[in-house]
Amino acid sequence: MMKAIVLAGGGGTRLWPVSQEHYPKQFIKLWDHHSLFQKTILRLHQSAIINDLFVVTNADFVNLVQEQLLEIDKILPNNIITEPVRRNTAPAIALAAKYAQEVQGATLDDVLLLLPSDHRLEATPELWAQMGLAEQLARQGLMVTFGVVPSRPETGYGYIKIQGEQDLNLNVGTDTYFEIAQFTEKPDVKTATEFVTSGQHLWNSGMFAFTLRSLYQALEKYAPEINELMSLDYEALYAVFAQMPNISFDYAVMEHVQNAVVIPLAVQWSDVGCWDSIYECFEKDQNNNVLLGDVLELDTSNSLIMNQSKRIIATIGLDDLVIIDTPNALLIAKKGETQKVKNLVEQAYITEALTDPLPQTISVSP
């Protein structure tokens, strides 16, 4: 049995204008009446290998987390760990570990399963078998991560290279795991293509499993700025949380530890990190379009068009576009370029647009 920690404190600029800083993507209900956060909680709540569940979120999102937990089940565990300020995944995991140990009585030998709240993941019997394998490996003192067998040369994901010469396309089972040779951040198209062709690389899913003991040992050795504060009790750590470095768990720990292994997952998975990812997640019509809301199209193909405004979107003769219309903003982008939305939103004039009550049009060019 494992204790699940769901990370739900991230901002939401990459799916702007639907997702915004005050209402990020994990809480948005894009597919049905459940958000990505709720779908994550439901998967864990229904699993036989999870015996406790904690949610780590930013102080700004506590009310959203509480509301969405109540929508699922009024008796769901309500262990919400609040980050007083946003400090990336390594400090969030450290704070959650201290909470689990001191507030909830977890032991050093308990296994933590860390998951993002904003990913789309196919929950299959094979997945839970692989989660069970992760628990076994974690109890042996290993730091476990999960990698998804890539289906295309995706430049928006990080990659994990396995040790050895086995072809991942031919050798993925519920008892398979590998030592890790290298982590690579988002590569260019040429490199991503080489990775997928090699059969030696996995998409980095951002999911982990390890015991509290292994985590504390890794922080002591590889993350001294975080470890220095871990000697404090939970309340004291919370009070000085702003002193934590802004660093991801991959960078702080997983890229350095010698006892890390990766379990390959052959499942449908997406980090839903940009509008191109949203397009990939939906079924397409006869013209290879994804049309959501009030949309009229003529001779339009290979496009994602989402309408959340009160007006109709009508298109003629368009190809390979993303059009997202909301009551206060309109995004028009070429497919393949939507990873740049985050950069666009960071520009000062976007901040002004987000608070302007008049409709705004923002374009992303190659």
Co-location of 47 and 103 in the same domain: yes
Domain end marker among 270, 304, 324: 270
| pTM for the full predicted model | 0.88
Co-location of 344 and 246 in the same domain: no
Q: The domain containing residue 44 runs over which residues?
A: 2-270
Domain end marker among 270, 293, 316: 270
Per-residue pLDDT of the chain (366 residues; tens, 9 = 90+): 999 999 999 877 789 999 887 888 999 988 788 999 999 999 998 889 999 999 999 999 999 999 999 998 776 656 899 999 988 999 999 999 999 999 999 999 999 999 999 999 988 888 999 999 999 999 999 999 999 999 889 888 999 999 887 777 666 777 889 999 999 998 999 999 999 998 899 999 999 999 999 999 999 999 999 999 999 999 999 999 999 999 999 999 999 999 999 999 988 898 888 999 899 889 999 999 999 999 999 999 999 999 999 999 999 999 999 999 999 889 999 998 998 898 888 774 445 545 444 444 434 443
How many structural domains compose the chain? 2
Q: Positive or negative CA dihedral for 250, 255, 261, 267?
A: positive
Cβ atoms of 108 and 270 closer than 8 Å = no
330 sits in the region (left: phi over 0; alpha: psi -120 to 50; else beta) called beta
Which pair of tokens denotes residue 182? Answer: 């290298």
CATH number at residue 197: 3.90.550.10
Give the three-state DSSP class for 110.
Answer: coil
Co-location of 84 and 189 in the same domain: yes
Co-location of 293 and 146 in the same domain: no
Co-location of 194 and 66 in the same domain: yes
Co-location of 114 and 30 in the same domain: yes
Domain end marker among 208, 235, 270: 270
Co-location of 338 and 221 in the same domain: no
